[in-house]
Amino acid sequence: MKPLSNNPLVLDDPERGIFKVHRLAFTSQEIFDLEREYIFGQCWLYLGHESEIPSPGDYVRRWIGGRPLFMVRDEDGQIRVFYNTCTHRGALVCRRDKGNAKVFQCFYHAWTFDTKGRLIGVPKEERFGPGFAKEELGLRSPRVGTYRGFVFVNFSTNPPPLEAYLAGAKEVLDLVADQAEEGMVVLEGSHRYAIRANWKLMVENSVDSYHLVPTHQTYFEFLDYLAQTRGAPQGKTGKKLERPERVVALGNGHVVLEAPAVGGRPVADYHPLLGGEEIRREIEEVKARTLARLGEERGRRVTEMGRNFIYFPNLIIVDTRATNLRIVEPIAPGETAILQFQLVPKEEFGTLRFERRMHSYLSFFGPGGLATPDDVEAVESCQAGFAAGEVEYNDLSLGYAKEDSGVTELPMRVFWRQWHALIQGKPAPTSWEDPIAAR
Ligand code: FES
Ligand SMILES: [Fe+2]
């Protein structure tokens, strides 16, 4: 790769505790194209969850890594993923975001494919020449892999096995999946929003505890107000967010930030201050069952700790008050689409699911919630600021050399180290931790 600037894209100087990212990484079309090739063209990408298509014929349509795809459960119950392009002249074969179908008929000239992708109908077939091979014109598929219900695709010809690529991320997916007695399922419905900012700014934001109090000030004022009106003890709610954090680099750029969950898991309302007896009892019941099922140590980790998880490169799981899945889809250097779902225990119903969890999700993570609009404003503001030029680098050195367990930008550094290696076509680093930070 020819240098885009005389200076490196990522400045990583452990001796001085300096970590900087060149702003070209967020603005350059050339870098965006390299990401498409070396990151989205090579890595296993998150596509969706098996529970989104429970019955034969169920399908969902997605754009992942710039490519149109759809995932369908075939007539035998097997999950299949197809590139969403007709083998005739290219039209999108699947034209709805979700549904159920026995066959997929292309609207342009009516070629028809079954749920296994086979071409089963061609109008005026007899008029094609002798070389026309219907059996070779089925829909094409990327590589597909699943782990604990999470479905991934890979566009390269010779990818590593999914499990090897997941590396330590498997444990986080296990912790997420183990919350449920009967399995976690994606709740019907999704949120989709577009951001005028680079995709990596949204990834950074999702593991950024440094921004919580300043950016989400309105939210904390709102909590304080609620606490006051409900006669809860006085106190600054934002203050209580200063909690110990544990960052674990999981390999291949995946990283998790674990901290005691604010609001009490696994069915948090706004805040324990506001919960009241009924919620406390519900939380305790779920917790007791989880501990009985998973044992004391793991049970506590599942029910008491929250986690912000980056699956490199395109999935974020914020598993705190609710379990929020965000698929990050880069559209252009300064444009990103987010497709967001909620994952819930299959067995959970009643007030737990429909009041506590839904309310918590909608009021905080939803695009009309009290957090996401602030975050979108913040990342769009950064992208707008980059146009100033002049300032070459962003600084991501917070917490670099400190041995305490306070707020740190380490999760972002883990992400960027992987990004930097891949973008140069280099082998992935073997260690992602800060060389001198003891964590
Ligand atoms: S493009 Fe699909 S049938 Fe012609
Ligand atoms: Fe935020």
- In the chain, what percentage of residues exceed pLDDT 70? 88
88, 92, 93, 128: residue to mutate for ligand 1 pocket, most atoms within 8 A of CB: 88
Using pLDDT thresholds of 50, 70 and 90, give the confidence band for residue 358: confident
Q: Which ligand does the CA of 111 lie closest to? A: 1
Find all residues with CB under 8 Å of 371, minimum gap 6, and list them.
Answer: 216, 219, 364, 365
Question: How close is the Cα of 409 to the center of ligand 1, in Å?
Answer: 49
Protein residues with CB under 6 Å of any ligand 1 atom:
86, 88-91, 106, 108-111
Where exactly does CATH 2.102.10.10 map onto the chain?
A: 46-158
Q: How confident is the model at residue 291, as a pLDDT?
A: 92
For the stretch 392-411, pLDDT in tens is 999 999 987 666 667 899 99
Q: Is the pLDDT of residue 3 over 60?
A: no
Reported as a single tens digit per residue, the pLDDT across 269-326 is: 445 445 567 777 777 888 899 999 999 999 988 888 889 999 999 999 999 878 999 9
pLDDT tops 70 at residue 263: no
Closest ligand 1 atom to Cα of 111: 3
Q: Each residue of 231-248: pLDDT tens digit? A: 666 555 555 556 677 899
Measured CA to CA, the distance from residue 78 to residue 115 in angstroms comes to 10
Q: What is the pLDDT, as a whole number, of residue 269? A: 44
The mean pLDDT of 112-135, rounded to a whole number, is 97
Q: What are the helix (H) ranges across 331-394?
A: 350-351, 358-360, 372-386
> Cα–Cα–Cα angle for 357, 380, 258, nearest 5°?
40
Q: Which ligand is nearest to the CA of 206?
A: 2
The closest residue, in CA terms, to atom 1 on ligand 1 is: 89
What is the residue whose two structure tokens read 């707008």? 384
Residues measured by CB to lie within 5 Å of ligand 2, the ion:
375
- In the chain, ranges of CATH 3.90.380.10 domains: 168-423
46-158: which CATH topology? Rieske Iron-sulfur Protein (2.102.10)
CATH superfamily, region 168-423:
Naphthalene 1,2-dioxygenase Alpha Subunit; Chain A, domain 1 (3.90.380.10)
DSSP codes of every residue in 262-299: TT-SSS--S-HHHHHHHHHHHHHHHHHHHHHHH-HHHH
Q: Whose CA is nearest to atom 4 of ligand 1?
A: 109
Taking the C-alpha atoms of residue 115 and residue 158, their distance in angstroms, rounded to an integer, is 25
Of all ligands present, the nearest one to the C-alpha of 209 is 2
Residue 201 pLDDT level (bands cut at 50, 70, 90): very high
Report how far residue 183's alpha carbon sits from residue 148's, in angstroms, rounded to the nearest whole number. 9
Pairing of strands 150-154, 98-100: unpaired
Run of H or E including 326: strand 323-332
